[in-house]
Amino acid sequence: MSVSKKEIESSVKDKELIEIRRKEIVNAAVDLFVRKGFHRTTIREIAQKFGMSVGTLYEYIRTKEDILILVCDYINSTVRMRVKPSVEITKDSTRSLKNAIETYYRIIDELQDYIIFLYQETKSLSHENRKYIFKSEEDMTRIFEDILKHGVEQGSFKIDEKNIPLMAHNIMVQGQMWAFRRWALQKNYTLERYIETQSKSILEQISAH
Amino acid sequence: MSVSKKEIESSVKDKELIEIRRKEIVNAAVDLFVRKGFHRTTIREIAQKFGMSVGTLYEYIRTKEDILILVCDYINSTVRMRVKPSVEITKDSTRSLKNAIETYYRIIDELQDYIIFLYQETKSLSHENRKYIFKSEEDMTRIFEDILKHGVEQGSFKIDEKNIPLMAHNIMVQGQMWAFRRWALQKNYTLERYIETQSKSILEQISAH
DNA sequence: TAACTAACTGAACGTACGTTCAGTATTACT
DNA sequence: AGTAATACTGAACGTACGTTCAGTTAGTTA
């Protein structure tokens, strides 16, 4: 689930309390970060938002960046946790893939503000912490890779072994695009149409004719 | 070319001098912004970088955001100015498209730091100014739309009229992805291979079999 | 009930940085 | 030469904000 949560230092001893308070922090921060951006949001606002004093807030984190890590981590695991259970590798690879795409794209639509936030604020993280985010994204990519691989083995898809990761990235980015290009896409297409069209053209590329 | 340059107020009268000084400002700022991000770069650094005093700098802009506008605008027109002359609509639509994709993707590779910067800092612009950036991006999209349209008319491509803009966006984003997913892609593929594979799968989707 | 500890408070600290402004240098005009 | 206008300078201003810390509250132990 969460990758880095446990690695952020805190001066509070009670592990359970840390868990609770950090959830409160994240809940308050996500909202503000997404609306105003990381830099424009102040510690004071975050603390105020859920009725905690600034001093106490600092008992649960070391720096403002820690909050950003918590938030990025939270967003990532939210997406992943929502995608994973609805994805299944069945015998009908085409159906599996279509289903995975639809699920993922719908979740992106729902969480589009979060997705855009990740695109924009990842760079505010230190090198070390950015790696966690990338890793998490690679995990997601692997979900699609697995479906593709399975389809190739079954003979439903025809993709050069070496290009499977690339294809997986394409599928993901074409979903995320729905969020970060919404100014163009959501003016001209409905989500349903978008999913349908993109699915079709993805399948066209890989189906073994 | 530049969209907003002329609309930023300046207390200096000499139009030509404004042009010159702003070029200096942009040159200094682009570099710093790309390396350190907009927020982390200070006015002082920018001024110092090309040996101008802070006071004078402020004769040519009103706020720090003005510099960001100038820089975003500069990056956009750089990309556009480099793509446009090498794109041509010939009788051989397939060749035209392949050529346009290769040109665009190579430029992205060269300017990848700039592309990533645009993705990340556009949000720091006010709503009004963001529209300029989007508009500029739509101009680029239209280049690809035109090639696609032409190919459809000629019978080389088979795309539903309504999906041409979407296809154009796909082509562009699959290029930009080379920059903002470099942590995954550039580890596993060379630029040449990337261009080849992506071109092929794009053409596969749209060629009239 | 005294002593100790853990959790919490918010005023105070320090500083970094965008912006201004009083003053200087340079050029143009009369 | 004297005046005015334009371009330039950088110290000074103000403030916003991340972080700290001396002190309070509440709970636990003995």
More confident residue, A208 or A111: A111
Test the A interface: residue of B121, B131, B177, B178 with most A CBs within 10 Å = B177
A17 CA to chain B: closest CA distance, Å? Answer: 34
Q: How far is CA B29 from the centre of its chain?
A: 17
> What is the rounded average pLDDT of the residues A136-165?
96
Task: Report which residue is nearest nucleotide C8 when distances run from CA to C1'.
Answer: A56
Query: Is the Cβ of B4 closer than 8 Å to some Cβ of chain A?
Result: no
- Sorted by where each begins, the domain ranges of chain A are 5-67, 71-206
Round to whole Å and give the CA distance between A129 and B94. Answer: 43
Give the CA-to-C1' distance from B119 to D14 in angstroms. 33
Judge whether residue B209 has pLDDT over 90. Answer: no
Fold entry, domain B8-62: Arc Repressor Mutant, subunit A (1.10.10)
pTM of the shown model:
0.93
Chain A hits for B120, CB-CB cut-off 8 Å, are 119-123
Residue B180 with chain A: CB contacts under 8 Å? 119
Model confidence at A209, pLDDT cuts 50, 70, 90, reads low
pLDDT at residue A123 greater than cutoff 80? yes
Q: In degrees rounded to 5, what are phi and psi of residue B160?
A: -60, 125
Confidence class of residue A10 from pLDDT cuts 50, 70 and 90? Answer: confident
Q: Is B166 on the interface with A (CB under 8 A)?
A: yes
Which pLDDT band holds residue B144 (cuts at 50, 70, 90)? very high
Q: Which helix (H) or strand (E) holds B21?
A: helix B15-36
Whether A42 CB is under 7 Å from strand C: no
Q: Please list, in sequence order, all residues whose beta carbon lies within 8 angstroms of the beta carbon of residue B191, skipping any fewer than 6 positions away.
A: B105, B106, B109, B178
Answer whether B31's CB lies under 8 Å from B75's CB: no
Confidence (pLDDT) at B195: 98
- Angle (nearest 5°) at CA B21 between B17 and B25: 165
In chain A, how long is the greatest CA-to-CA distance? 64
Residue of A34, A127, A140, A166 to mutate, testing the B interface (most B Cβ within 10 Å of its Cβ):
A166
pLDDT recorded at residue A3: 47
Averaged confidence pLDDT in chain A: 94
Poorest-confidence range of A19-28, A128-137, B146-155?
A128-137
Mean pLDDT to the nearest integer, A29-47: 97
Contact at CB, A194 and B166, closer than 8 angstroms = yes
Does A142 contact chain B (CB < 8 Å)?
A: no
With CB atoms and an 8 Å threshold, state whether B184 touches A138: yes
CATH number (3.40.50.620, 3.40.50.150, 1.10.357.10, 3.40.190.80) of A71-206 reads: 1.10.357.10
Contact A201 B173 (CB under 8 A): no
**Quick check: B13 pLDDT over 90?**
no
**Tens digit of pLDDT for each residue in B66-122?**
999 999 999 999 999 999 999 999 999 999 999 999 999 999 999 999 999 999 999
Footprint of strand D on the protein (CB under 7 A): A 40-44, 54-55, 58, 62-64; B 11-14, 17, 21, 52-56, 58-59
Q: How many inter-chain contacts (A to B, CB under 8 Å) are there?
A: 78
Interface probe with B: pick from A72, A114, A170, most Cβ of B within 10 Å: A170
Nearest nucleotide to the CA of B56, by C1', is D8
CA A98, CA A206: separation in Å to the nearest integer? 12
A42 in reach of chain B (CB within 8 A)? no
Q: Is B76 helix (H, G, I), strand (E, B) or coil?
A: helix
Q: A82-91, A159-168, A186-195, B10-19: lowest mean pLDDT where?
A: B10-19
Nearest to B26 by CA among B53, B54, B60: B60
Report CB contact under 8 Å: A183, B123.
Answer: no
- Please give the CATH architecture assigned to the domain spanning A5-67: Orthogonal Bundle (1.10)
Instruction: Residue A123: list chain B partners with CB under 8 A.
Output: 37, 116, 120
Question: In this structure, what token pair is assigned to residue A11?
Answer: 């001066």
Minimal CA separation from B19 to chain A, in Å:
31
Q: What confidence score (pLDDT) does residue A14 get?
A: 85
How far does the CA of residue A14 sit from the closest CA of chain B (Å)?
36
Cα–Cα dist B203/A137, whole Å: 28
Residues 6+ apart with CB under 8 A from B202: B97, B101, B170, B171, B174
Separation between Cα atoms, residue A101 and residue A90, nearest integer Å: 14
**Averaged pLDDT, A125-145:** 93
| A157 DSSP β-pair partners | A207
pLDDT at B169: 98
The protein residue nearest D5 (Cα–C1') is B13
pLDDT band (50, 70, 90) for residue B4: very low
B122, B124, B197: residue with CB nearest A166: B197
B6 has a pLDDT exceeding 80: no
